Amino acid sequence: MRNHRRTSCVSLLALCAAAVGVACAPSSSGAFGPQSSEDAAAPSVDAGGTPADDAGSASVDDMVTDDLGVDDAGIPVQPAPRDAGRPGSCVASVARGAEATDALCSNGVDDDCNGYVDCNDYHCSRNAAVHVCGSDAGAPVVDVPAADVPAADAPPLDVPAGSVGPHGGTVDLLHFGVFGDMRPPNDNDTAMWPTSVVDSVIAGFAAEHAEFVIGTGDYMFANNATTVNAQISMLLQAEAALPVHFFHGMGNHECIGASTSNCPNGNEYANPVGFHTRLAAAYPNLYYDFTVATRNGDAHFILTAPNAWNAAQQTWLDAALARPATYTVVAAHEPPGNREAVGSPFIEASIAARRGGVTLRLYGHTHEYRHAAANAVISGNAGAPLASTSGSYGFVMVDQRADGNLVVTAYDVGRPPMVADSFVVTPAGTLTR
């Protein structure tokens, strides 16, 4: 009998996050703190159909930041003592992407002027040849160390074959994974899609014997069919290492990027077309549901699409929530009150109106792990630039106990994965032990 509740240490990064004391409880308005600014409208589109900012360049994603400072792309970075890499002030000493040696990754300079300094540059933190970006390097680590990435000659992953497919299935007890937000830091920057982090997350699911996995959205940062498909291919290649079914929920980047963007027809851009045809092809719409039978009763999973909202989805959601089940789990990319998508308020209202409530709510979007409310968790730290330099990349596992309660455990990526947080909810969604 496997022990999926292994004893392990909480990472130093997780302890750091705890020391900061970020509030996790919802405010009186129902919003999950902390709050951050967000585009008030969908991005404008230039003559070529490409989302643009007021200057006509590709729009910058709506990244969560804290008080640690951000670069011009909106990505949190360690403040550079000499050169922050800002356009007009940075003079590159090496080619872009060549800031990739111990010397260049520890000199406090954005040597290749890509907006990232030292270990905040993926060419440093995701480079096995660089040894100064570990937890003892004296700077915040914002990426998974190369040592945590499974080697190419690693033994086969120990995973169950499972009996859950695109439309559900049957298991004895639920053991499923949750991850989200694994896009690259910049638009169409496929070379920086976070392969090493996602590989480590997938290996973590294997180590915890996930029977299936739910994605909370944002698998790409792209605005044309070529890069959309390239980034989807990288995701599918990573997922192929784990022979279980992945249920992909839609995020704002599967519309066009801004949190407020909406793609109700599913064909407005290459992003929703690619998402539907390659990540959710088994379903007629960008939103869907499925049921998994367990020894303790049916578990009904409802994957909404807040960025593809229309009246038809509202009708579908109300009908889905009306179905009786022992467990009801709802996934929506944007958490309520925090840079909401068009459909977010309607989704939350429907959940609140459900008699008996729901068992668990799964969110992403804010590039962090957070136990946001009694039965709500944000799992958005699977590779996109983190909301805080004190954060950690990771994933969530949900394990059904024989007594019927669900154990929700957050893991930081590693070998083995390290437990960062854990809590237990009843089928009714209340906290217990």
CATH of domain 151-432: 3.60.21.10
H runs (alpha helix) in 21-165: 122-125
Give me the pLDDT at residue 114, please.
65
Rounded CA Rg of the chain: 21
- Measure the CA–CA gap between 212 and 301, rounded to whole angstroms: 12
Return residue ranges of the chain for CATH 3.60.21.10.
Answer: 151-432
- Measure the CA–CA gap between 359 and 324, rounded to whole angstroms: 12
| Residue 250 DSSP one-character state | P
**Stretch (H or E) spanning 195:** helix 195-207
Work out the number of other CB atoms within 10 angstroms of the CB of residue 278.
16
Q: Pull the structure tokens for residue 270.
A: 């290459």
Q: Pull the structure tokens for residue 376.
A: 């709500």
Whether the model clears a pTM of 0.75, i.e. scores above it, the answer is no
C-alpha dihedral sign at 69, 70, 76, 82: negative
- Residue 328, phi then psi, degrees to nearest 5: -125, 120
- CA geometry: angle at 76 spanning 73 and 82, to 5°? 85
CA-wise closest residue to 289 among 236, 242, 328: 328
Give me the pLDDT at residue 401, please.
96
Give me the pLDDT at residue 143, please.
32
pLDDT along the chain (433 residues), means of 10: 38 38 39 40 35 31 33 31 40 81 88 73 66 47 32 38 85 97 97 97 95 98 97 97 97 95 97 98 98 97 98 98 98 85 95 95 97 97 93 97 96 90 97 94
Give me the pLDDT at residue 207, please.
92
Q: Which residue has the tokens 């290459």?
A: 270
H runs (alpha helix) in 341-400: 344-353
Give me the pLDDT at residue 339, please.
64
